[in-house]
């Protein structure tokens, strides 16, 4: 009896894992489709629209969406909104990938070393992590940008300086677990060097957590980057960065709602794409969690 | 009980390095300024005499260690230096702006709880149902939604089209404040409720799988009673913790939403100070907001310990 119920439970568990992996694949595919479309569209912007993002047309300001030649309308300078969103996507996607990838690599390396070696280095790094966690992240980024001077590059610097801590914390936590596993002990018993144990045995078991978090973080970074653009502290006008576009449109809300609305939808689409990829990967890579 | 007080005592002791660290970090912010801060502040009005005056005012004519000592000495006496733009101390500027920000944060927190507690509970009870799916898609979208954009959309519909709420400002008197701050608070609440709803749902689901829930059911207690007394109570405790963890996020959203709705709070002061290169005000605001987060985190730990006796053993 016990044996049968055991196998029944096991098979149920396996089935739920399999179904999680299955639904995870669908989620991942939808996410890749959305994000992929946005990436391709912004890279292929010149093929999609002949309008230049910064071409001013004083004769046709504030044209409604679906106007001939201007699918999403024009702004107060007569600039084509669709073209600006497509070209602006290059900046916002660069923020998403550029800010996230650098901090992910730095943070993971620090967390891995901190968790693996332990000791006083670990204590110091963890105190720094605690300190940064106490700060309202957005406020700290603004303060750093304030000191360096508002620009898109300084925005990257501010994010690089502050965002690695989440990765360090995640990686350190999972490294501490992996360090005690038999495969790590075996690798060390075989006399492998620390670097090899860390990179070949621990990192592959930790990296899935990093990748899943990076997808969430990318959404956060795009929202952050556009927020700074909106406040005038990141990308500067006349850049077609989406936050800057939303800020430009704020003065024309009543007469021209489309100026601010469409760039916002673009941010949401990219964000949803990243989130779905993260959710899908979580189901596939960690179906048991 | 001693365990619980011991826990709180340890928690307060742990704060000391964090608080000292915050002061060091904020102090060094000024030294991130490329070149001479006085040149940045003065711009076209630069003269060696004016620069020397600013150096003296910011304490830059002293050695680094003395600068930090002066910074700390002032801080202990509640002074945050003088604004270089306004003819006022940074401390008094911040004190003027603080109430609006605190009210906005509290307001947003209450709205977020009102929205996400029922949503999280229903989504967990009807797991996999239509409501659960809708909540999942809803949180997916709101998570990617920039708060400043959502604020603008709210202004467009509720302030400009329907004219139910003011477009911006803070108003006079408490009820007027609540009316003016409704849309800004809702903007922040939406972003925050994404996190709250997800956490509450997950916490409910894991509590419902616990043995004590089955035990209570086997003892013949009705499903509703078990849910209200055991499951929801445990889930509420998790809400308190999530509140503490995500307070920094809440404060960050406040900064930007204040700018959208022109609310005279710390966020608007900070952004204006960045533009006018008012470094002491940037430092002061950052410091106050960081201390606020640390303080409220301590408070949530106290509440958590009071609600959940297991905390004392951790």
ipTM associated with this complex: 0.89
Instruction: Print the SS3 string covering A151-178.
Output: CHHHHHHHHHHHHHHHHHHHHHHHHHHH
Beta bridge partners of A74: A80
pTM of the model: 0.89
Mutation for testing the B interface, residue in A93, A127, A143, A159 having most B CBs under 10 Å: A143
Task: Collect all residues of chain A within an 8 Å Cβ-Cβ radius of residue B260.
Answer: 250
* B314, part of any domain: no
Paired tokens of A229: 């653009």
Cβ–Cβ under 8 Å, residues A231 and A222: no
Domain final residue pick, B90, B115, B136: B90
Paired tokens of A163: 């965002």
Q: What are phi and psi of A67, to 5 degrees?
A: -70, 150
CA distances from B48 to B57, B62, B257, B277, B280 (A): 14, 17, 39, 18, 20
Q: Are residues B144 and B246 in the same domain?
A: yes
For the stretch A211-265, pLDDT in tens is: 999 999 999 999 999 999 999 999 999 999 999 999 999 989 889 999 999 999 9
Q: Are residues B49 and B178 in the same domain?
A: no
For the stretch B58-99, pLDDT in tens is: 878 888 888 888 889 888 888 888 888 888 899 999 999 999
Closest Cα in chain B to A140: B286
Could you tell me what percentage of chain B is helix, strand and coil, using 3-state DSSP and rounding each to the nearest 5?
80, 0, 20
Number of domains in chain B: 2
For the stretch B203-227, pLDDT in tens is: 888 888 878 888 888 888 888 888 8
What CATH number is associated with residue A222?
1.10.3720.10
Higher pLDDT, B125 or A281: A281
Q: Are residues B255 and B210 in the same domain?
A: yes
CA distances from A194 to A109, A113, A199, A210, A224 (A): 13, 10, 9, 21, 37
Please tell me the distance from the alpha carbon of residue B193 to that of residue B117, in angstroms, as a whole number: 9
pLDDT at A186 over 60: yes
* B19, part of any domain: yes
Task: Collect all residues of chain B within an 8 Å Cβ-Cβ radius of residue A27.
Answer: none
Domain final residue pick, B56, B90, B124: B90
The confidence score (pLDDT) of residue B314 equals: 46
The confidence score (pLDDT) of residue B112 equals: 93
Measured in angstroms, the CA of B138 and the nearest CA of chain A are apart by 11
The confidence score (pLDDT) of residue B200 equals: 86
* B313, part of any domain: no
Q: Are residues B86 and B25 in the same domain?
A: yes
Q: Which domain holds residue A29?
A: 20-285
The confidence score (pLDDT) of residue A240 equals: 95
Report the percentage of chain B scoring pLDDT > 70.
97
Higher pLDDT, A253 or A270: A270
Please tell me the distance from the alpha carbon of residue B226 to that of residue B236, in angstroms, as a whole number: 14
Q: Are residues B80 and B108 in the same domain?
A: no
* B241, part of any domain: yes
For the stretch A16-75, pLDDT in tens is: 778 888 888 999 999 999 999 999 999 999 999 988 998 888 898 999 999 888 899 999
Count of A-B CB contacts under 8 Å: 159
Cβ–Cβ under 8 Å, residues B31 and B71: no
Q: Which domain holds residue B263?
A: 97-307
Closest Cα in chain A to B276: A146
Q: Do B145 and A135 touch (CB under 8 A)?
A: no
pLDDT at A14 over 90: no
Of the candidates A133, A264, A132, which has an alpha carbon nearest to the alpha carbon of residue B187? A264
* B187, part of any domain: yes
Q: Do B290 and A227 touch (CB under 8 A)?
A: no
B286: nearest CB among A139, A270, A276: A139
Beta bridge partners of B89: B82
Closest Cα in chain A to B33: A147
* B312, part of any domain: no
For the stretch B34-51, pLDDT in tens is: 878 888 888 888 888 888
Task: Collect all residues of chain A within an 8 Å Cβ-Cβ radius of residue B25.
Answer: 131, 135
Of the candidates B115, B133, B124, which has an alpha carbon nearest to the alpha carbon of residue B191? B115
Q: Do B255 and A142 touch (CB under 8 A)?
A: yes
Q: Do A131 and B40 touch (CB under 8 A)?
A: no
The confidence score (pLDDT) of residue A257 equals: 92
Measured in angstroms, the CA of B77 and the nearest CA of chain A are apart by 22
pLDDT at A181 over 50: yes
Q: Which residues contact A94 (CB under 8 A, 6 or more apart)?
A: none
Closest Cα in chain B to A270: B144
Of the candidates A34, A15, A70, which has an alpha carbon nearest to the alpha carbon of residue A259? A70
The confidence score (pLDDT) of residue A45 equals: 93
The dihedral formed by the CA atoms of B260, B266, B268 and B271, expressed in degrees to the nearest 10: -120
């Amino acid at each position: 009896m016990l044996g049968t119920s055991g196998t029944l439970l096991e098979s149920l568990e396996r089935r739920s894992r399999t179904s999680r992996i299955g639904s995870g694949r669908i989620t991942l595919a939808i996410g890749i489709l959305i994000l992929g479309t946005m990436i391709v569209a912004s890279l292929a912007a010149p093929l999609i629209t002949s309008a230049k993002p910064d071409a001013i047309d004083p004769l046709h300001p504030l044209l409604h969406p679906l106007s001939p030649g201007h699918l999403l309308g024009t702004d107060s300078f007569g600039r084509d909104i669709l073209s600006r969103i497509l070209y602006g996507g290059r900046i916002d996607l660069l923020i998403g990938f550029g800010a996230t990838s650098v901090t992910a690599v730095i943070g993971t390396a620090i967390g891995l070393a901190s968790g693996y070696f332990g000791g006083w280095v670990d204590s110091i790094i963890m105190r720094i992590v605690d300190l940064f966690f106490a700060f309202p992240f957005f406020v700290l980024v603004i303060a750093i940008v304030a000191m360096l001077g508002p620009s898109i590059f300084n925005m990257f610097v501010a994010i690089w300086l502050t965002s690695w801590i989440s990765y360090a914390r995640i990686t350190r936590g999972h490294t501490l677990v992996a360090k005690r596993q038999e495969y790590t002990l075996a690798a060390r018993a075989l006399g492998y060097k620390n670097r090899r144990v860390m990179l070949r045995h621990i990192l592959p078991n930790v990296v899935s957590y990093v990748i899943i978090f990076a997808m969430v973080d990318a959404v956060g970074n795009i929202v952050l980057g556009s927020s700074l653009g909106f406040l005038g502290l990141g990308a500067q006008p006349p850049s077609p960065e989406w936050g800057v576009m939303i800020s430009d449109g704020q003065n024309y809300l009543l007469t021209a709602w489309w100026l601010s609305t469409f760039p916002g939808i673009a941010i949401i689409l990219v964000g949803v794409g990243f989130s779905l990829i993260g959710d899908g990967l979580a189901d596939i890579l960690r179906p048991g969690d | 009980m001693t365990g619980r007080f011991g826990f709180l005592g340890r928690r307060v002791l742990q704060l000391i390095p964090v608080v000292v660290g915050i002061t060091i970090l904020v102090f060094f912010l000024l030294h991130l300024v490329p070149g001479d801060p006085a040149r940045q502040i003065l711009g076209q009005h630069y003269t060696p005499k004016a620069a020397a005056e600013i150096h003296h005012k910011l304490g830059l004519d002293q050695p680094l260690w003395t600068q930090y000592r002066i910074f700390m000495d002032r801080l202990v006496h509640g002074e945050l230096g003088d604004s270089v733009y306004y003819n006022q101390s940074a401390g008094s500027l911040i004190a003027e702006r603080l109430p609006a920000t605190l009210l906005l944060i509290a307001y947003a927190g209450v709205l977020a709880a009102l929205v996400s507690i029922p949503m999280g509970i229903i989504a967990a009870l009807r797991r996999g149902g239509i409501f659960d799916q809708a909540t999942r898609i809803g949180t997916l979208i709101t998570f990617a939604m920039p708060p400043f954009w959502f604020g603008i959309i709210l202004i467009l519909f509720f302030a400009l089209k329907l004219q139910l709420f003011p477009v911006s400002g803070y108003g006079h008197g408490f009820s007027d404040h609540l009316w003016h701050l409704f849309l800004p608070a809702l903007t922040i609440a939406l972003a925050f409720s994404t996190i709250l709803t997800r956490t509450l749902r997950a916490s409910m689901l894991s509590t419902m799988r616990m043995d004590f829930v089955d035990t209570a059911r086997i003892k013949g207690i009705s499903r509703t009673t078990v849910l209200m007394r055991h499951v929801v109570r445990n889930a509420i405790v998790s809400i308190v913790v999530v509140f503490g963890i995500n307070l920094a996020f809440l404060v960050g959203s406040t900064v930007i939403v204040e700018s959208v709705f022109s609310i005279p709070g710390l966020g608007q002061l900070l952004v204006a100070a960045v533009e006018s290169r008012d470094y002491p005000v940037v430092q002061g605001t950052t410091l106050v907001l960081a201390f606020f987060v640390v303080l409220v985190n301590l408070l949530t730990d106290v509440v958590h310990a009071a609600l959940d006796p297991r905390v004392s053993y951790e």
